[in-house]
Amino acid sequence: MQSTGRAFFFVLALAAGVLLALAVFQVPQPWRAILVAWLLICATLGVLVVRLVRHHYEYKALQQRRGRASPVRVAPREPATPRFEGLKVVMSSEGGQRYTI
């Protein structure tokens, strides 16, 4: 089955090539070179565009398969307060004033 498909594709490609060559041969000589160059450039650019579009759709499909997990945001760390073991807050009995010793 696979061999038949390959042969059919080869025959179709050969027929398309022959028809294209006959069509180009019908064009007068000064325009023939321009037509051939135009066909080569368009074929090359067409293949590149098709590859880019295919790559874009494969990339989008891969993103959808992975899912859109929201990025994890890390809260900024607050600077740690310095700890002094030798300091002590003493409350005065007169008026609630604080003294650091």
Q: Can you give the residue ranges of every domain in the chain?
A: 2-66
**Taking the model in full, what pTM does it have?**
0.45
As a whole number of angstroms, the distance between CA 16 and CA 21 comes to 9
Residue-wise pLDDT tens digits, 8-63: 999 999 999 999 999 999 999 889 999 999 999 999 999 999 999 999 999 999 88
Q: Give yes or no for residue 101 having a pLDDT over 70.
A: no
Longest dimension (CA), the chain: 114
As a whole number of angstroms, the distance between CA 90 and CA 98 comes to 6
Q: Give yes or no for residue 88 having a pLDDT over 90.
A: no
* Residue 35 near residue 24 (C-beta atoms within 8 A): yes
Q: What is the mean pLDDT of residues 85-96?
A: 66
Ranges of H-type helices in 26-67: 29-66
* Residue 24 near residue 37 (C-beta atoms within 8 A): no
